[in-house]
Amino acid sequence: MPTPRQELILRKVVQGYLDNGAPVGSKTLAEDPALDCRPSTIRNELALLEEHGLLRHPHTSAGRSPTDAGYRFFVDRLLGERRPAPPQQRLDVQLGQREIDDAMRATTAALSQVSNLLAVVTAPPIDTATIRHIEVLALQPQVLMVVIITSTGGVSKRIFTFERPVDPGLASWANAYLNEQLVGLGLGARMLSRRLADPTLPPTEHRFLEQLTPAFTELAATADATLYVDGAARLINEHRLQDLAQINELMSVLEQRVELLAVLKQALGERDVLVRIGAEHEQPQLRSMALVASAYGLPSRRLGTVSLIGPIRMDYGEAIDTVREAAQMLSRYIETVYED
C-alpha cells in the first residue's frame, strides 16, 4: 500500500491528469501547498509510485500519468468516501406517470446529456411484470390477434390463423375469461399455465384456449432484454475518444449486445457502484474504456442497471454520483409502477 504521502501525490497526479489531460510533473506538484515537501522528495515518491505500477512516465514528457491500476486506487478511495449530497439534482427528469419504455428512454438521454458519455440503461426483465389487460380481436374470420398489456406498459401482439372461421361468441368468451383469470398474474408465474389448462372447461373452450396459450407462455421465454443507449455520437463528435481504433471498439461493443448485457449484469450483484477500468474488462473491446454502473429496482429485487461508458480519462466522481442518482430515481419510479 502507498504511504499517506504517496497516496496524496497519486491523487494529485490523477486529478491533474483528469483535469488537463497532460502528464503532471514534480515541479507542478511542488507548487501545491497541500504537499509540504521538497521537489527532490516528490520526484523520489513519483519514482516509487511508478515502480508500484500506479503511474507511468511517457517518454515525451517529464511528467507522470496514471496507469489503470492508478485509476483503480483513486476510484476505490472515491467509492469508500462519504461523498456529500449535490446541492442540486444533476438529472432533471420527471418520470411521473410515464410508461416504462418512455421512462427508460428519458433517463438514458438525461444521463448522456449530463455526463457527455455513452449512457446505457437496461429495462426490467419482462417476467417481472404482471398482466394488466388482454384483448382477443378478430382480424378476419379465420385470423385472431391476442394483445397483452403488462403492468409496466409493455404491449405484446400475437397473430393466430385457424383452419376454419372462429365463432365470434367463442372469441368473446375467451376475451372475458382470460381477463378474469389472468389479470394480475406474472408472466413467469406457474399459475398462468395452470389456469390456461383448466380441465374443468368444456372441450371446445379448452381446445381453443390451448391454441392461444403460446401468446402467454412463450412471451417471457422469448423476450430479449431491452437496452436503451444514448450519447455515442456526442462522445465521438466531442473527440473524447483518442483515435479511430477506439471508436471502432465502441461500435463493436454496441453491436455485441449479449456481451454488453453480460458486463452490465455484474452490477446487479454489487452493493454500490460497479467501476471497471481498462484492462480490468474481460472483453477486449472495452479495454480502452471505463464503465461506471449501478443497479436499480425494488427493495426485494434488483431489476436493471444504469451505466456510463467512456474513455479511461473520465471524471469518475461525477460519473459515480450521476449513476447513483439515476439508479435511485428509477428505483422510486419502479416502486410506483409495480404497486399499481
Instruction: Measure the CA–CA gap between 328 and 309, rounded to whole angstroms.
Output: 19
Residue 202 located in a structural domain: yes
Q: Which tops the pLDDT comparison, 340 or 179?
A: 179
The pLDDT assigned to 243 comes to 64
Instruction: Measure the CA–CA gap between 295 and 301, rounded to whole angstroms.
Output: 10
Which are the contacts of 175, defined by CB distance < 8 A and separation ≥ 6? 134, 135, 136
Residue 49 sits in the same domain as residue 159: no
4-21, pLDDT tens digit by residue?
899 999 999 999 998 888
The pLDDT assigned to 2 comes to 84
How many helices (H) and strands (E) the chain has is answered by 14, 10
pLDDT band at 123 (very low <50, low <70, confident <90, very high): confident
Render 62-93 in DSSP notation, one character per residue.
Answer: SSBEE-HHHHHHHHHHHHHS-PPPPSS-S---
Say whether pTM exceeds 0.95: no
Residue 93 located in a structural domain: no
DSSP helix/strand/coil, 157: strand
310-336, pLDDT tens digit by residue?
889 889 999 999 999 999 999 998 888
Chosen domain end from 187, 222, 257: 222
Q: Phi-psi category of 151—alpha, beta or left, where left has phi over 0 and alpha has psi -120 to 50?
A: alpha
Residue 154 located in a structural domain: yes
Residue 333 sits in the same domain as residue 242: yes
pLDDT band at 222 (very low <50, low <70, confident <90, very high): low
Residue 232 sits in the same domain as residue 330: yes
Give me the residue label for grid cell 390477434: 145
The C-alpha cell of 78 is what?
Answer: 472515491
229-257 exposure pattern, b = at least 16 Cβ within 10 A, e = fewer: bbbbebbeeeebbeeeebeebbeebeeee
Residue 255 sits in the same domain as residue 307: yes
130-155 exposure pattern, b = at least 16 Cβ within 10 A, e = fewer: bbbebebeeeeeeebebebbbbbbbe
Residue 117 sits in the same domain as residue 245: yes
34-85, pLDDT tens digit by residue?
888 888 999 999 999 999 999 998 766 678 999 999 999 999 887 776 555 4
Residue 85 located in a structural domain: no
Residue 110 sits in the same domain as residue 133: no
- pLDDT value at 87 more than 50: no
Query: Which amino acid makes up residue 301?
Result: R
Residue 55 located in a structural domain: yes
242-256, pLDDT tens digit by residue?
667 777 777 777 777
Domain count, the chain: 3
Contact 111, 121 (CB under 8 A): yes
Residue 229 sits in the same domain as residue 335: yes
Residue 79 located in a structural domain: no
| Range scoring the smallest mean pLDDT among 84-98, 153-167, 175-189, 231-245 | 84-98
Residue 167 located in a structural domain: yes
Give the number of other Cβ atoms within 10 Å of residue 270's Cβ.
14
What average pLDDT is seen over the chain?
Answer: 85
- pLDDT value at 187 more than 80: no
128-161, pLDDT tens digit by residue?
678 889 999 999 999 999 998 877 666 788 999 9
pLDDT band at 305 (very low <50, low <70, confident <90, very high): very high
Domain range for 163 is: 127-222
